[in-house]
């Protein structure tokens, strides 16, 4: 089969899926306004069951469409990078996060079991310095971060029949003073980096929050839409929020990841983490961020505080996604944050499409 022909057809599918997301989002906006109207009038989300069911269905459809769009994009990228067509059905989004980096590294088994990105980094830097004879501070950042994820990328491309080896051999060009990476690895890194959840790029966290909700929906349970009114003093206003709600007792249905970690964390312990962010600032790591090891991704609104007046709800952001946690559940913004994440995703994907068009 002609590779270019197939790539263009899959690109058309990607663009069609983007249009579908816009259509769903537009209908959801109209339905949501009716739901808010009813909620304000009756303080009851079930006052009009039909419109509430439609609103839930549209949210479910958007979650599913987002996940499908990412998988389509991955297939499109792999066709352009050189996937073996006999293995193309294996292609799907793979999270290059902490666990995947460590599992597919050159660390010894005992070292992998520690599950430490700090150890991963130290061993990687030893390997990098040994291959080029330079101090780490002299290695340019592009080479450093490409090398940081190169084994994980090589493992993925090996599974898709693109590369023969799962592990890379670090090669240094003494003349041009740079590392030499296989073009396929560089291409993958360029077009997939915005979806990473690791120290080289943590902008994929926002997408994975909603991907985890979709996985929960697809296989286990419905993330019910709930609404609540909050009063804020600075500036003084009243806001109505719509959230996906996942109860604490259903944490077993969530994949290991950011959402499950937060849901299973003790309410008071999370409050202490948020207190650190509030006092020390966004860039100061709290214990939960140190556990994740991918940088400062938690933030709080210092103007309005991170805890409700009754002390029963914590409010915070993870990679710009607005979340709330009660003692019984976790709440994930199903409106403005979700729209923003979809917009960022589409922008990133369109950038990848343009990259391959120009090749």
Q: Mean pLDDT by 10-residue block, N- to C-terminus, for the chain (359 residues)?
A: 91 99 97 91 73 96 98 98 96 97 97 97 94 87 96 98 94 86 97 98 98 97 94 78 97 97 98 98 96 98 91 97 98 98 98 94
Task: Give the per-residue pLDDT at 44.
Answer: 62
pLDDT at residue number 178? 87
**Residue after which a domain boundary falls, among 174, 196, 218:** 196
Q: How far apart are the first and last CA of the chain?
A: 20
CA distance 93 to 97: 12
> Which positions ≥6 away from 354 have C-beta within 8 Å?
none
Q: What is the pLDDT of residue 173?
A: 87
Burial class for 109, CB neighbours closer than 10 Å (0-12, 13-18, 19+): exposed
Does residue 213 sit within a domain? yes
Predicted pLDDT of residue 45: 56
Predicted structure pTM score:
0.95
Question: In terms of domains, do 262 and 119 share one?
Answer: no
Query: 192 with 226, same domain?
Result: no
Domain boundary among 170, 196, 222: 196
Quote the number of domains for the chain.
2
Domain with 234 in it: 3-73+206-345
Instruction: Examine the domain organization and report whether 174 and 129 are in the same domain.
Output: yes
Final residue in a domain of this structure, among 150, 167, 196: 196
**Considering the domain boundaries, does residue 250 fall inside one?**
yes
Q: What is the pLDDT of residue 137?
A: 87
Q: What pLDDT does 1 receive?
A: 61
What is the H or E stretch that residue 206 is in? helix 205-219
116: region left, alpha or beta (phi > 0 left; psi from -120 to 50 alpha): beta
Same domain for 223 and 321? yes
Q: What are phi and psi of 92, to 5 degrees?
A: -160, 170
Q: Are residues 341 and 211 in the same domain?
A: yes
Q: Is residue 333 domain-shared with residue 214, that is, in the same domain?
A: yes
Q: Quick check: is 85 in a domain?
A: no
Pairing of strands 321-325, 314-318: antiparallel
Beta strands (DSSP E) in 14-94 are: none
């Amino acid at each position: 089969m002609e590779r270019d022909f197939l790539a263009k057809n899959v690109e058309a599918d990607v663009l069609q899926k983007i249009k579908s997301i816009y259509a769903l989002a537009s209908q959801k906006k109209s339905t949501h306004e009716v739901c808010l109207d009813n909620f304000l009038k009756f303080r009851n989300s079930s006052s009009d069951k039909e419109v509430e069911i439609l609103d839930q269905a549209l949210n479910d459809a958007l979650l599913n469409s987002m996940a499908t769009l990412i998988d389509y994009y991955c297939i499109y990228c792999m066709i352009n990078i050189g996937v073996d067509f006999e293995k193309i059905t294996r292609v799907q989004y793979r999270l290059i996060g902490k666990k995947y980096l460590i599992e597919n590294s050159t660390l010894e088994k005992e070292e992998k079991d520690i599950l430490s990105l700090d150890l991963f980094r130290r061993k990687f830097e030893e390997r990098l310095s040994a291959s080029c004879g330079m101090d780490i501070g002299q290695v340019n950042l592009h080479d450093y971060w490409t090398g940081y994820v190169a084994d994980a990328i090589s493992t993925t491309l090996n599974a898709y029949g693109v590369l023969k080896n799962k592990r890379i051999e670090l090669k240094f060009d003494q003349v041009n003073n740079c590392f030499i990476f296989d073009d396929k690895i560089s291409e993958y890194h360029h077009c997939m980096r915005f979806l990473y959840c690791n120290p080289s790029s943590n902008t994929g966290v926002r997408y994975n929050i909603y991907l985890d909700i979709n996985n929960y929906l697809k296989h286990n349970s419905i993330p019910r839409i709930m609404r609540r009114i909050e009063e804020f003093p600075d500036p003084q206003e009243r806001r109505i929020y719509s959230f996906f709600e996942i109860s604490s007792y259903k944490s077993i249905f969530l994949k290991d990841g950011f959402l499950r970690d937060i849901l299973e964390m003790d309410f008071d312990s999370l409050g202490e983490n948020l207190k650190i962010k509030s006092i020390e600032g966004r860039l100061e790591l709290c214990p939960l961020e140190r556990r994740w090891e991918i940088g400062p991704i938690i933030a709080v609104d210092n103007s309005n505080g991170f805890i409700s007046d009754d002390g029963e709800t914590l409010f915070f952001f993870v990679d710009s996604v607005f979340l709330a946690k009660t003692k019984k559940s976790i709440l994930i913004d199903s409106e403005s944050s979700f729209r923003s994440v979809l917009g960022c995703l589409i922008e990133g994907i369109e950038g990848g499409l343009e990259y391959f068009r120009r090749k």
